[in-house]
Amino acid sequence: MIKQDQLLWIDGREVAALDGETLEVENPATTQTAFVVARGQGPDIDSAVDAARRAHDHGPWPRMHPRERGRILRAAAEILRSRKESIGEVETACVGRPLREMVQQVGRAPDWLDFFASVAETHEDLVVPASGELMNYVRRVPLGVVGAITPWNHPLLITMKKVAPALAAGNTTVVKPSEVAPVAPLELARALVEAGIPDGVINVVPGFGTDAGKALTEHDRIDRIDLTGGTETGRQVAAAAGRSLIPVQAELGGKAPVLIFDDVPIDVAVAGATFASFVASGQSCIAGTRLLVHERSIDAFVEKLVERTQLIRVGDPMQPEAQMGPVVSQRQLDRILRLVESARAEGARVLCGGERLAGHAFERGYFIAPTVITDVHRDMRIMREEVFGPVVSVQPFADEDEAVALANDADFGLGAAVWTQDLTRAHVVAHRIRSGTVWINDHHRIDPASPWGGFKDSGIGSENGVEAFNDYTAAQSVLVNLSRTPFDWFGSSEELRYS
């Protein structure tokens, strides 16, 4: 990957940071600098919010017919599709996820623009049955300026999940992407501007959370905060927004259980579990980190899982044969290894992996062997904390009730999966799990039409679907007096009326 400069996108154009500062984006597979990006701070956030405010209050975007907005969003979607290979390379260079995975994910991201363009075009206002001689209709109007804080693990897709419904609803946006992976969100802004979006509607300001992120979430001229990040960050952002009475949507951490019943063939169960656990090197809030397996199947399952895990090809993520790349940073690698060591110290068994990979192919990157841990219990750190790495624990259950109890025994409730061939059991168990999304005989599937949110410490509100579109709007109720009789509340010659 060739190093290149990337600037901020503010008010329809690329600009340097006001103080000229930059940040380096590291390639986790090589530890070399992949990109140099302008580093935005508080004054740059002010400029971006000012541009977004002007575009909302005085520009054409909120007043544009939804079909016209839809044409621009669909044009941007086609531009992104034409660049999925190059943007996939960008994302792989930033986060280390295998190129074959990133190209596929980048190729799906434009679907969000298409979907929400259609939602906006077909959205209908309501006429509600007000009493008396009144007509009452309810409009959905844009909120205003939306501030979005996006993470590093799915840079384009998660940014798209926020930007697409916000723009389709007529809002303007300021995005603060992660300093670890800011380039793909900048490419999204480029595509939207090329497609004809008005100046100031989309603004992207890379920077660190301690300055740019804090400045955005505490800004007094934004109308909504949309965050994907860690649970503690979510609490801090929600508290800051609450002081200004700004609504918050937050998709936070996860500790997804995968329930595997004994009627599932072992090979099928293991294939599903490895997909759930090790895609993206486990660096996903919905990674299947807790495998709960029926006690009649667990011995055969664990044996096959270890065998399959040891066959995963870890290597240079730019190469087509690589099935798993590095984790994103030295900090992340150190944290994962500390959690694995804590599991050992607390009595768990590490059956494979659990160490940094060595040798010529791995000497410069943050590579860790995919890891399987057994003999775990609920009080271990490995069972309570989000690992965000290629580490999975396996725990037996005796019956359906115990499986559900173990699945719900977590502070998080974002994603879960149920594997069984019993159709009734599949639905009954899914309904008992406290999780925003439950897959049956699958994992990691997502769609712009499918609501996405978490229970408990996994977040506030929901992304995707018509519900998310409505959340980027406010209801305005308009009441029209249809009476032909003059009305004078304080007149002496007319009977008092009130309804």
E strand map for 295-390:
349-352, 371-374
E strand map for 333-445:
349-352, 371-374, 391-397, 412-413, 415-419, 437-440
Write down the catalytic residue from 101, 187, 218, 251: 251
Scanning the structure block, which residue is given the tokens 């303007």? Answer: 172
Identify the three-state secondary structure at position 371: strand
Residue 383: enclosing H or E segment and its boundaries? helix 381-384
Write down the catalytic residue from 84, 162, 176, 456: 162
**C-alpha to C-alpha distance for 186 and 477, rounded to whole angstroms:** 37
Within 10 angstroms of residue 236's Cβ, the number of other Cβ atoms is 17
Residue 400: enclosing H or E segment and its boundaries? helix 400-408
Q: Quick check: 185 and 156 in contact, CB under 8 A?
A: yes
Scanning the structure block, which residue is given the tokens 């899982």? Answer: 305
**C-alpha to C-alpha distance for 120 and 168, rounded to whole angstroms:** 6
Write down the catalytic residue from 179, 187, 218, 463: 463
Give catalytic status of residue 495 as yes or no: no
Give catalytic status of residue 232 as yes or no: no
Using CA atoms, how far residue 477 sits from 41, 192, 461, in Å, is 39, 32, 23
Give catalytic status of residue 402 as yes or no: no
Give catalytic status of residue 463 as yes or no: yes
Residue 374 backbone dihedrals phi, psi, to 5 degrees: -125, -175
Write down the catalytic residue from 176, 285, 304, 386: 285
Give the closest residue to 200 by CA, choosing from 40, 14, 47, 12. 12
Residues with Cβ within 8 Å of 451's Cβ and at least 6 positions away in sequence, in order, are: 436, 462, 463, 464, 465, 467, 468
**C-alpha to C-alpha distance for 301 and 298, rounded to whole angstroms:** 5
Catalytic residues, which ones?
Answer: 162, 251, 285, 463
